[in-house]
């Protein structure tokens, strides 16, 4: 084992006494060089997504010391940039130690003279984005690992605009973090700063205002719909229970059944080890509940309630899960058709999507005269476009945005994806079409008839540890060497976003355009030790698309190894 790693480990053994769980784990790994190396071979990476990692002892883990270190770095950044008395908003989800990490972060900020606005109970990520702007804060912190398994936690950082931080801000904060000695100062006493008023709980009025903004996203414009539809909802043991059910009931949707096994916050996620509404296993309890109560629609939100997945009853009486792209296409078409019908389309309407989101969405937007803006993967880049429209004096031009990974936003009131908003808009859309005798599956088939069929799939390849990180770099280098065809389809163009394209920030992403209108995007995940492969196949029907997709997936799997 590297001597430097050994020395860092011994420093932690000597000083990491605040958290008994960390101290116990440090003692338990004594003598296990492989385990020590994995925990200490690097500092947990900090970037535009903040921190994310496995909960545990070590510099490469989420614990009170890495959280305190990141918080001191962020605090220094805020103190340098704040034009007035600095303040930071903090929220947390249902994950293991999320409440502890939020208190540690809040106490560190307060000890630096930064006023803290902390939600008094767990709240979704979009509520944090909203609070940053509503309270005029200089930054925000959301303690969450989104949809990762239970052993993960994370620390998302937001700027004063309510967006996740930019690349430039992340680099500057990282420089501050790297200069912090994790044991240079004791972790401050949270209760003391609560008593002094330096940490202040966010009032109910902010949460109420957020829900009012969400309800204001309706595009019915007076159209009558039957809201007496049977809805099953699962918060997947996360933060969505109260905000989603409050908002839906206030909007008139009274027949809501919550999935009992996934109702209450629980960071162990006992019935969905991977609490992601993209995954059928996570939706299974919801489907079973739908079958039991005869529901029309299933909604599920991830633990920090910024992603929303759905399933709808089909003609066979079973339930069909829609992909993030399919739900996004339906929502985009619904919003555009309603705004056009009621003459509510703004001047120069704008739709924003990520480069890995289905290209078919752009064809739908074009048909309504809506301008599409393509951005890098990550909803923060959609949020940045909203901010640019606001800066130009036209925030109303933004009508919606979505990404293939189940993230949607239909208004400018927050700058991150919002599953509370998505849940309401999906229920409204579902009720609107049902009132007119049309199911969402029938509407989706109509969209494919009008604009052509397109199949989008995601394949992930996991590469853990230091060797895995190096292997992902080698694979990306190999893919950049280029090739003329893949899976029997000719490569017609290659976009390397590491060089910066169309004014977008440089990013380790490759996009291959193939003959016949298909495309492939490859990128390392920014939050997980995974290489992600996005396949988009245009064909005459689903069967033909699936055949091509299978060949493309196999060809890339062979290259990735």
Q: Which of 98, 146, 405, 507 is catalytic?
A: 146
CB 334 within 8 A of CB 370: no
- 470: Cβ–Cβ under 8 A, 6 or more apart, which residues? none
Query: Where among 260, 294, 321 does a domain terminate?
Result: 321
Evaluate whether residue 401 is within a structural domain.
Answer: yes
pTM: 0.92
Question: How far apart, in whole angstroms, are the C-alpha atoms of residue 372 and residue 365?
Answer: 7
Say yes or no: 31 and 150 in one domain.
yes
Question: How far apart, in whole angstroms, are the C-alpha atoms of residue 319 and residue 298?
Answer: 9
b/e per residue, 423-456, with b = 16+ CB within 10 A? bbbbbbbbbbbbeeeebbbebbeebeeebebbbb
- Alpha helix (H) ranges present in 452-511? 465-480
Query: Where among 159, 174, 206 does a domain terminate?
Result: 206
Evaluate whether residue 170 is within a structural domain.
Answer: yes
Evaluate whether residue 62 is within a structural domain.
Answer: yes
At 483 the pLDDT is 83
Q: What is the span of the domain harbouring residue 505?
A: 453-560
Cβ count near 80 (within 10 Å): 10
Evaluate whether residue 261 is within a structural domain.
Answer: yes
User: Token pair of 9, please?
Assistant: 């480990």
The CATH number covering residue 112 comes to 3.40.120.10
> How many domains would you assign to the chain?
4
Hey, which residues does 400 pair with through a beta bridge? 351
Place of tokens 């902390």: 118
At 142 the pLDDT is 98
At 527 the pLDDT is 65
pLDDT along the chain (561 residues), means of 10: 91 96 96 94 91 96 98 98 93 98 98 98 98 98 95 97 92 96 95 98 98 98 95 98 98 97 97 93 97 96 98 94 97 98 97 92 96 93 94 95 96 97 98 97 95 89 81 89 87 89 84 89 82 89 91 89 69
Say yes or no: 38 and 133 in one domain.
yes
Tell me whether residue 460 is one of the annotated catalytic residues. no
The CATH number covering residue 515 comes to 3.30.310.50
Residue of 145, 123, 146, 118 whose CA lies nearest to 202: 118
Say yes or no: 300 and 333 in one domain.
no
Say yes or no: 343 and 310 in one domain.
no
Question: How far apart, in whole angstroms, are the C-alpha atoms of residue 155 and residue 271?
Answer: 24
Say yes or no: 336 and 309 in one domain.
no
At 412 the pLDDT is 95
At 339 the pLDDT is 98
Question: How far apart, in whole angstroms, are the C-alpha atoms of residue 344 and residue 340?
Answer: 6
CB 125 within 8 A of CB 131: no
Say yes or no: 88 and 105 in one domain.
yes
Question: How far apart, in whole angstroms, are the C-alpha atoms of residue 273 and residue 252?
Answer: 33
């Amino acid at each position: 084992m590297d001597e430097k790693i050994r020395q860092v480990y011994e420093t932690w053994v000597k000083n990491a006494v605040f958290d008994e769980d960390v101290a116990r784990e440090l003692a338990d790994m004594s003598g296990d060089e492989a385990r020590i190396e994995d925990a200490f071979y690097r500092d947990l990476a900090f970037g535009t997504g903040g921190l994310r990692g496995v909960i545990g002892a070590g510099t490469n883990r989420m614990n009170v010391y890495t959280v305190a270190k990141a918080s001191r770095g962020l605090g220094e950044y805020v103190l340098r940039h704040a034009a007035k008395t600095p303040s930071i908003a903090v929220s947390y989800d249902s994950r293991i130690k999320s409440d502890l990490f939020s208190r540690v972060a809040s106490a560190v900020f307060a000890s630096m003279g930064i006023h803290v606005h902390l939600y008094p109970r767990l709240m979704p990520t979009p509520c944090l984005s909203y609070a940053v702007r509503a309270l005029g804060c200089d930054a925000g912190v959301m303690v969450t690992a989104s949809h990762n398994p239970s052993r993960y936690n994370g620390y998302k950082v937001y700027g004063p605009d309510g967006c996740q931080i930019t690349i430039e801000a992340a680099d500057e904060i990282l420089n501050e973090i790297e200069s912090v000695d994790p044991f240079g100062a004791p972790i401050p006493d949270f209760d003391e700063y609560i008593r002094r008023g330096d940490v202040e709980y966010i009032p109910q009025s902010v949460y109420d205002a957020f829900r009012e903004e969400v309800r204001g996203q309706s595009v019915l414009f007076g159209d009558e719909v039957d809201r007496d539809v049977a809805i099953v909802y699962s918060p997947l043991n996360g933060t969505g229970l109260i905000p989603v059910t409050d908002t839906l009931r206030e909007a008139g949707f009274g027949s809501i059944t919550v999935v009992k096994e996934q109702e209450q916050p629980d960071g162990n996620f006992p019935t969905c080890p991977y609490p992601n509404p993209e995954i059928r296993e996570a939706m299974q309890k919801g489907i079973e509940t739908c079958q039991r109560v005869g529901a029309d629609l299933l909604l599920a939100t991830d633990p920090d309630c910024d992603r929303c997945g759905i399933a709808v009853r089909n003609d066979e009486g079973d339930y069909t899960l829609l992909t993030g792209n399919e739900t996004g296409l339906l929502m985009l078409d619904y919003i555009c058709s309603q705004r056009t019908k009621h003459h509510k389309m703004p001047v120069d309407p704008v739709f924003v999507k990520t480069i890995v989101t289905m290209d078919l969405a752009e064809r739908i937007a074009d048909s309504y005269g809506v301008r599409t803006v393509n951005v890098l993967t990550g909803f923060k880049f959609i949020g940045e476009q909203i901010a640019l429209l606001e800066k130009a004096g036209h925030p109303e031009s933004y009508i919606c945005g979505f990404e293939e990974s189940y993230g949607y936003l239909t208004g400018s009131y927050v700058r991150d994806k919002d599953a509370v908003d998505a849940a309401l808009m999906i229920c409204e859309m579902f009720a609107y079409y049902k009132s007119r005798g049309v199911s969402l599956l029938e509407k989706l088939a109509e969209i494919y008839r009008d604009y052509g069929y397109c199949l989008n799939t995601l394949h992930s390849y996991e590469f853990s540890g230091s060797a895995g990180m190096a292997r992902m770099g080698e694979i990306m280098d190999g893919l950049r060497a280029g090739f003329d065809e893949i899976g029997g389809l000719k490569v017609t163009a290659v976009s390397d976003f590491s060089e910066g394209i169309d004014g977008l920030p440089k990013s380790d992403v490759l996009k291959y355009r193939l003959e016949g209108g298909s495309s492939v995007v490859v990128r390392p995940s920014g939050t997980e030790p995974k290489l992600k492969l996005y396949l988009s196949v245009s064909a005459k029907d689903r069967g033909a698309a699936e055949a091509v997709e299978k060949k493309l997936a196999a060809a890339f799997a062979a290259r990735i190894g």
